[in-house]
Chains A and B, each alone.
Chain A
């Protein structure tokens, strides 16, 4: 898709503050337990107690902010029995609430668990990339919110030319599953996808 839109995320810039997550909740009037954008903490390292009472360690930690990645191969769309999920020319993946039957199959299939069930409407919901803002020429709420400019949005091809094509780090799933429209700039702390060096440190928060 020539004009595929994508998110860019800079690990070194992210402090884990979650302004992106809450800006999204404010923009879309989401309840606190519904997070179209989430911030995962990945940390690890070993501690050794020395004989003199001092310690040595190799601790690391970093955050990954992730929403719907508006994948090039959207598995949610593939598995939807109601044909409720569409992909626009600019790559934005949307759920048609009128067609959605709330079976939650997309939620199960998506490796990022991006689609989430809205109890009020009985249908699925997820990041729309703030399609109304995009159509009005504005930045999505999360991107416009980041105090550190860790997030950008743009055309996938242009972002790749600028930042490379890495789209997977721990604790995210492998990019080959759905070809996410996402680019990650790692830093010295970042571990590769499927790494065993650390663990998801905030499961309750994502």
Chain B
């Protein structure tokens, strides 16, 4: 390998790297080893001119679940997309900048013209999950779905019908899969008695459940408020990979705000992410799941050195010390008691104590605690990685303790400790009517609800709306989602359960591509992409809100049909067509949405003008937003929506939950945010067998599992497991070696990226690669969820997908 300087080797020829070697072979007439680029995807060879007379350019957008909805301008010739460009309005100045799409949007042609595209409706033949299908007519597909749906509603009730979490078609207005309750499927179901709800998301369930116990909501300052700060401290916040495109706006905002403010950036993360590469001045590696220990130790430093903001804590908060606790709570449960060792565990949370757990040296903890406390204002924020843990609710509330202890909440240049917000334009949604079913499960618990739905309760399983579920899930809709295998936990166990069609009796999958989830379908319907229909989207890019009128670029491919038409046809068979459509077509609903939007926002362009403009942008005319500014200004007049109206460092509600819920052994729910060692965490004795902690970072090659099957991206950013050189050396591994990553749940085979950019004892398998077990059950696709656990987190009952212990060996 050319390890020092790859490019010069071609000239000096001292060490031939792989690339040169391949070329030499070919040049010398050896075996033809130069790849031809694999599949052609029907791409045309370009002729030289840029803009053709016979080309049209249409506005579109990339609509997947990264938080962005980046504008695309598609060049279309002879009914085919021949070139992709992005926003060309505005300039390079932050505030009037072009909202440029990321690498994924650039590759959109290979997603549309992809060999995996589903072409016609199919039904399963043979065992579920075998992947054997037979082509059927649309009529047969609609008839089967309608009759099975009716049968299951009659037999088990509407609570037995579930619309699974799905984010593959996200950001549109009518043709959208997320939130499932806002999709056309939900509207269809609400016309026939409703469906089993869910709450939370695979992205942020722990945080959206936990943060309201502290603040009454989950709010943050806008990202542009970084311009007003001196120090930015991030926990597991990887904006430069999770939200790369200009349509999310955070990367460009972060870079611009850093340059304009001159603020120092510190990042706590097990991985030296692309965010560390681009904007971070000091990276401090930390073991996964130990954030609350680190925070407690920093609190210890601040309290012992009197650097905390006691006045702020006295006036605005409940539960910092024993003098500010709710009534009817025993002594010793305040945060200060916990930190100083005066609480239940009697353990002072010293930097030395935390160093052993977190891997962060004690002197670093002391130094950064002082820096945070003495630099005013300080913008403290976190990504969604720390909360996607077995103790995720504790982690995210703990991180919020830093701005609380230092009085940085409710001011410019400060923040709440929650991931940063932006400025947006409000566009009316597609109305999906009311769901008569009140029962709701956690987004992560559908697997359990198939298995033992009728036994699941509010106190043991986090069921909401009812005390106990009346029925198990018997019918599952899966529209534009890969969560029924790939993005849920423990793929092997999940597939095994779904293969039993006596449990969930009917699975309808509506998709663009043959995904791992699509293979579990009983009826598989080919959806058109958002490039094959008109749509409307809106989003936030830092200080710029925008809306895009997507125009149909090409005809529906093969026999694919739009989701709205599918739902209308099924509604017709269930006798509710009129209620479903209200006499409107898909495009007429889009016009309705614009009209409704204009009622609240007269500046929004009318439908025809909007279509001609393609993109409509508005820059925030005011100051960067500050969360809880009015509360900070006058806490009496503007209380938070917590029970006390104050910031609840100690939450009496959580304390009560801890005393009433049926909580499994090892799960910890407390009034204050504490470090809770967990199963498959750093302190689990299971580390003797599986010594490595595994996380799964978001990857530039994909948005979750979307774009996995795009050749340009697979070659630009191959699937590989990250490992520290110290761990690699112990195992005799070198960069590029094929390895097995395994635990009791499964085994992956993929290449290893030996890199100093990840902490020792931690590996990361980029999440979202498609599950692809070989005949021996080894997942050669490298799907991280082959190794993740089905056990939910304590409070949100949500996916702890960064809490895993594994071992790695040479394959």
Q: Identify the A interface with B (CB < 8 A).
A: 12-19, 21-23, 25-34, 40, 43-47, 49-50, 52-57, 59, 61-63, 66, 104, 107-113, 117, 119-120, 130, 132-133, 136, 138, 144-149, 170-174, 177, 188-189, 193-194, 196, 199-201, 203-206
B 254-281 to A, binary, CB cutoff 8 A, 1 in contact else 0:
0100000000000000001011111101
B 693-721 to A, binary, CB cutoff 8 A, 1 in contact else 0:
00000001000000000011111111000
Known: A52-B362, A55-B760. A200 touches B285 (CB 8 A): no
Say yes or no: B103 contacts A21, CB within 8 Å: yes
Bound Cα distance from A113 to B7, whole angstroms: 6
Say yes or no: B355 contacts A199, CB within 8 Å: no
Query: What residue in chain A is nearest B86 (Cβ atoms)?
Result: A145
By a CB distance below 8 angstroms, the chain A residues around B361 are: 50, 52, 54-56
Interface centre among B5, B86, B735 (most CB of A within 10 A): B5
How many A-B pairs have beta carbons closer than 8 Å: the answer is: 240
With A21-B103, A109-B11, A113-B20 already in contact, 20 other A-B pairs whose C-beta atoms are closer than 8 Å: A12-B278, A15-B240, A15-B275, A17-B274, A22-B107, A22-B716, A26-B107, A32-B35, A43-B272, A55-B361, A66-B7, A108-B27, A110-B11, A113-B10, A120-B36, A144-B88, A148-B251, A170-B4, A201-B735, A203-B735
Bound Cα distance from A138 to B49, whole angstroms: 12
Q: Say which residue of A17, A23, A55, A174 sits within 8 Å of B244 (CB atoms).
A: A17
Say yes or no: B38 contacts A31, CB within 8 Å: yes
By a CB distance below 8 angstroms, the chain A residues around B387 are: none
- The answer to the question of B17 belonging to the interface, with a C-beta cut-off of 8 Å to chain A, is yes
Can you show 25 pairs from A to B with CB atoms below 8 A apart? A12-B255, A15-B240, A15-B241, A16-B700, A17-B244, A27-B83, A31-B36, A32-B712, A33-B715, A40-B7, A43-B755, A44-B756, A45-B756, A49-B726, A111-B7, A111-B10, A113-B10, A117-B23, A117-B34, A119-B34, A147-B102, A149-B92, A174-B8, A200-B4, A203-B17
By a CB distance below 8 angstroms, the chain A residues around B735 are: 201, 203
Closest 5 CB pairs of A and B: A31-B37, A173-B8, A32-B715, A199-B3, A15-B240
By a CB distance below 8 angstroms, the chain B residues around A130 are: 50
Known: A53-B355, A147-B246. A203 touches B1 (CB 8 A): yes
Q: Say which residue of A13, A133, A138, A203 sits within 8 Å of B278 (CB atoms).
A: A13
By a CB distance below 8 angstroms, the chain A residues around B731 are: none
From B39-47, B321-329, B515-523, B607-615, the one touching the partner chain is B39-47
Say yes or no: B255 contacts A148, CB within 8 Å: yes
Interface centre among B6, B34, B735 (most CB of A within 10 A): B6
* Chain A: minimal CB distance from B22 (Å): 9
Bound Cα distance from A108 to B20, whole angstroms: 9
Interface centre among B27, B252, B716 (most CB of A within 10 A): B716
Query: What residue in chain A is nearest B22 (Cβ atoms)?
Result: A33
Q: Say which residue of B23, B241, B356 sits within 8 Å of A54 (CB atoms).
A: B356
By a CB distance below 8 angstroms, the chain B residues around A145 are: 86, 100, 106
Bound Cα distance from A58 to B214, whole angstroms: 36
* Chain B: minimal CB distance from A86 (Å): 15
- The answer to the question of B101 belonging to the interface, with a C-beta cut-off of 8 Å to chain A, is yes
Known: A31-B36, A62-B277. A26 touches B83 (CB 8 A): yes
Interface of A is mostly: loop
- The answer to the question of B438 belonging to the interface, with a C-beta cut-off of 8 Å to chain A, is no
- The answer to the question of B579 belonging to the interface, with a C-beta cut-off of 8 Å to chain A, is no
* Chain B: minimal CB distance from A191 (Å): 11
By a CB distance below 8 angstroms, the chain A residues around B18 are: 203-204
Bound Cα distance from A49 to B285, whole angstroms: 13
Known: A32-B711, A52-B352, A206-B6. A111 touches B11 (CB 8 A): yes
- The answer to the question of B737 belonging to the interface, with a C-beta cut-off of 8 Å to chain A, is no
By a CB distance below 8 angstroms, the chain B residues around A29 are: 43-46
Known: A203-B18, A204-B718. A57 touches B756 (CB 8 A): yes
- The answer to the question of B69 belonging to the interface, with a C-beta cut-off of 8 Å to chain A, is no
Known: A31-B36, A43-B757. A104 touches B23 (CB 8 A): yes
Say yes or no: B278 contacts A15, CB within 8 Å: yes
Interface centre among B17, B86, B755 (most CB of A within 10 A): B755
- The answer to the question of B788 belonging to the interface, with a C-beta cut-off of 8 Å to chain A, is no
Bound Cα distance from A104 to B753, whole angstroms: 31
Q: Say which residue of A110, A149, A203 sits within 8 Å of B2 (CB atoms).
A: A203
Known: A25-B712, A147-B246, A148-B251. A16 touches B277 (CB 8 A): yes
Say yes or no: B11 contacts A55, CB within 8 Å: no
B 600-626 to A, binary, CB cutoff 8 A, 1 in contact else 0:
000000000000000000000000000
Query: What residue in chain A is nearest B38 (Cβ atoms)?
Result: A32
Say yes or no: B10 contacts A200, CB within 8 Å: no
